Amino acid sequence: MHFQWYPGHMTKAKRMMQEDIKLIDVVIELVDARIPLSSKNPDIDQLAQNKSRIILLNKYDLASQQQTNAWKAWFEEKGYFVALVNSKNGSGVKNVHEVIQQACKEKIERDRKRGILNRPVRAMVVGIPNVGKSTFINSFAGKACAKTGNKPGVTKGKQWIKLNKNVELLDTPGILWPKFEDQLVGLRLAFIGSIKEEILNITDLSYELIKFLQKNYTGILAQKYEITEEEDPLLTLTNIAAKRGCKQKGDLPDLDKAASILMDDFRNGRIGKITLEFPGKDEK
């Protein structure tokens, strides 16, 4: 499978972010805890040079706790300030205020020495499509001020959000980067739903997920669906179709429907807490 999705509004959004970065004190980048590196836009590193950086490992409730802790340590070693959040239920979101203060400690101290008091920290919130950025902002602000949706590309423009007298947030559209050098990155992004479903073959995608789970989480599909895991992912998906009553005319298994069920179960954590890449093995 070949993965690429970079609609025109992303080019415009990137230009807009380049213009706004001079107004910013700290860049808060949301990544998906299941794929912390593959969901981290390499263009942001260039964009945010000389700015304080915060990484939020979002959706940590869907990922392996052990691997998430390992990724947190990995990012901290690289000089990032890191927090674990679950934007959907608000877990860990309050801690982000403290992390912002830590990341901007030097800037706040510089302002104080110059006699500039109470100037709010300006934070740009960035992330790829469907990483939960708007949901985080709404949870962080305690009100619905950013549009949310479970499809990539909901936020199309920028907006400033005043949280309190200490922090102002600049919300930005979710952007990918023009070309995936490693197609494994594209595959992982497709797994979590950050690439538009319309351009994907969901059944082929499910075969790739089955292969990964059988290698790294042996037995998890057998346990979840009460099936026999076969070496051939087609046979495993056929078993899931049979167990879930996915049939088409002529009593044939409806593999597309079974694939949709599998992908939906994975994306919503119903198969288990699964991390798709590991520090020390998949790091760039």
Contact present, 172 and 155 (Cβ < 8 Å): yes
- Residue 32 inside a domain? The answer is yes
d(CA 143, CA 221): 38
The CA distances from residue 117 to 4, 25, 97, 101, 105, in Å, are 46, 15, 18, 14, 13
**Is residue 151 located within the same domain as residue 13?**
yes
| CATH number of the structural domain spanning residue 256 | 1.10.1580.10
Going by pLDDT thresholds of 50, 70 and 90, the confidence category of residue 181 is low
**270: β partners:** none
pLDDT in tens, 118-161: 788 999 998 888 888 889 988 998 865 644 444 444 444 567 88
Q: Is 125 exposed, middle or buried (0-12, 13-18, 19+ CB in 10 A)?
A: buried
The predicted model scores a pTM of 0.85
The reply to whether 152 and 232 lie within a common domain is: no
**176: in domain:** no
pLDDT for position 176: 64
Compute the distance between CA of residue 10 and CA of residue 175 in angstroms, rounded to an integer: 5
Domain limits for position 58: 8-171
Residues 83 and 164 in one domain: yes
Strand partners, 67: none
Q: For 236-283, how does the pLDDT look when each residue is reduced to its tens digit (9 = 90+)? A: 999 999 999 999 988 899 999 999 999 999 999 999 999 999 998 776
Write the pLDDT tens digit of every residue in 184-202.
888 998 999 887 777 779 9
Please indicate, yes or no, whether residues 137 and 94 belong to a single structural domain of this protein: yes
* CATH number assigned to the domain comprising residue 73: 3.40.50.300
Q: Identify whether residues 16 and 128 lie together within a single domain.
A: yes
Residue 34 lies in a domain: yes
- Give residue-wise pLDDT tens across range 99-130: 999 999 998 898 889 888 778 899 999 888 88
- Whether 155 and 210 map to the same domain: the answer is no
Amino acid at 277: E
Residue 196, domain member (yes or no): no
Residue 189 lies in a domain: no
Contacts 24+ apart (CB under 8 A), 232-238: 233/206, 233/207, 233/208, 234/207, 236/210, 237/203, 237/206, 237/207, 237/210, 237/262
pLDDT tens, residue by residue, 215-229: 999 999 999 999 999
**Does 14 lie in the same domain as 142?**
yes
Look at strands 167-171 and 159-162 and give their pairing. antiparallel
3-state secondary structure 11-61: HHHHHHHHHHHHHCCEEEEEEECCCCCCCCCHHHHHHCCCCEEEEEEECHH
Q: Could you give the number of structural domains in the chain?
A: 2
- Residue 68 — pLDDT band, cuts 50, 70, 90? very high
Residues 240 and 100 in one domain: no
Q: Which of 154, 171, 188 is the last residue of a domain?
A: 171
**Which of 82, 87, 69 minimizes the C-alpha distance to 130?**
87
Strand 26-32 relative to strand 52-58, pairing? parallel
What was the pLDDT predicted at 225?
Answer: 97
Domain shared by 23 and 122, yes or no: yes
DSSP 86: B
The answer to whether residues 115 and 231 belong to one domain is: no
The 10 Å CB-count burial string (b at 16+, else e) for 233-250 is beebbbbbbeebebeeee
Instruction: For residue 195, tell me if it sits in a domain.
Output: no
Name the amino acid, one letter, at 69. Answer: N
For residue 16, tell me if it sits in a domain: yes
Does 135 lie in the same domain as 214?
no
Residue owning tokens 């920028």: 158
Whether residues 151 and 263 fall in one domain: no
Q: Is residue 225 part of a domain?
A: yes
